[in-house]
Each structure stands twice: as structure tokens, then as C-alpha cells.
Structure 1
Amino acid sequence: MAEGAPKTRIDKWLWHARFFKTRSLAAKQVAAGHVRLNGDKVLKPAQNVAAGDVLTFAQGRLIRVVRIEALAERRGPAPEAQALYFDMTEKQEKIPANPKFEGKGRPDKKARRALDLTRRRHTL
């Protein structure tokens, strides 16, 4: 049997590269059809990947596009995991969770009084 380029399972590689916390989460994302390999949907977690392949998948609110640079034997520390891929994700604007919220939290007593005064002026 001729040995070609080394390959590994896609769910295992996503877990090694620390994109998913567990391998079963990675397998669920792949099985649900949320991962693309070189532009094609992948539905089997056992799909083999090799160096040079491009993966596209959602991670939180971001759409990640990564090129596989290397394969790993184990799930190592973060710097080792970051060496496994090249991130080709374009910069995306961050959408605030609540656009009206200014990060000030609950108004204090002085702010509540000012709010009450503005409400009274508009109702009179």
C-alpha cells in the first residue's frame, strides 16, 4: 500500500487545533453540515483532511476560514495548536449585542433623577 500525504479525521483535526472544546462537538458540527472542506459540505466526521486543505465553518458569530498547515499527533497547548493552521478569515465588524446599551449598567440615583425630570417635562 503506497503511503501518500498523511491524513487525519476532520473532527479530530478541529479538536486538535482547539476550534472546539470536545471532539464530539466537532463531530456534531461536521455531521450537521456546518463545515466545508475546499468549498464542499462535509457530512461525515471521518472525512480525511491533509495539509493544504481549506476549512470553512462557523465559530460563534464568526465565519472562520482556515488553511491546514500541519497535522498533530495530540491536542497540545494553544501555541502548538495555532501552528497547525493559517487563518484566512476576513475582518468582520463586531455587532454589539444590544446597540442601545452604552455599557454604563444600572443608572445611579443622580441619573434616575435626571431621567425623571425629563419624563415630567414631556408629560406636562
Structure 2
Amino acid sequence: MDDSAIAATVNNTSPDYQPSQVTFNNLLAWTKANHVTLNHKKTVVMHFAFALTTGDHTLDVVRAAKIPGVTLDDRLTWEQHVSTIVTSASLRLYMLRRLKTLGCPHRNSLPSTRPSFCRS
């Protein structure tokens, strides 16, 4: 299973995390019935107060998690997402500068080279 997310709300004044665990257990049952496995190294929980288990594994609690296309943090800010995008863009710009200094054929060939690096 790849790029999935479960979201649940919990009342902070009288928290009951059991419904979240039940939902996660239902997901585990579905994955087993459909012969799909969860990668425990990539499966994380982002929350404000509790942890979930897969039976024999407790999921890592993280401050930020990447869901398809967006890095979401536990404060619901864009800081981590923007930082990730800026880092990625900087690396790709460095690669283009490096190609130029190494004598990349002709300036007109860079537009055809760039998409292969920028879209990876």
C-alpha cells in the first residue's frame, strides 16, 4: 500500500483514542484480506497526543509526514513543505549550473536536459 492517509478527530477535553485504533485495525484487516502489506518503516502517525499499534509494532510518532504532494506538520503550517520544495529546487538548479560548467553541449540543449532533472 502506498500513499495513503487516515484522518481522525479527537476531543481533547475527554480524549478517546479507541475509535482511531479501531479504524486502523480495520485498515490492517483490509490489507491482510487483499494481500497487501504495510511498510512499518514508512508507516507513521502524526498526532497531538496518542500512539497507534499494528499489533506487534508501535507506529513512529512524527512531527511531519509527507502525504501525496504535500508535507504536513503537526502545527498545520507550510514550513516543512516549503523547506522541502526549496531544497529540491536548489539541488536541481545546482545540477543545471554544474552541467553548464562541465561544458554541456550547447545552450539550446539545456531545455531538453532540464526536464529530466526537474521532474524526477
Instruction: Please identify the structure whose Cα radius of gyration is greater.
Output: 1
More helix by share: 2
* Fold match by TM threshold 0.5: no
More strand by share: 1
TM-score, normalisation: structure 2? 0.30
TM-score, normalisation: structure 1? 0.29
- Structure with more contact order per residue of length (Cα contacts < 8 Å, sep ≥ 6): 1
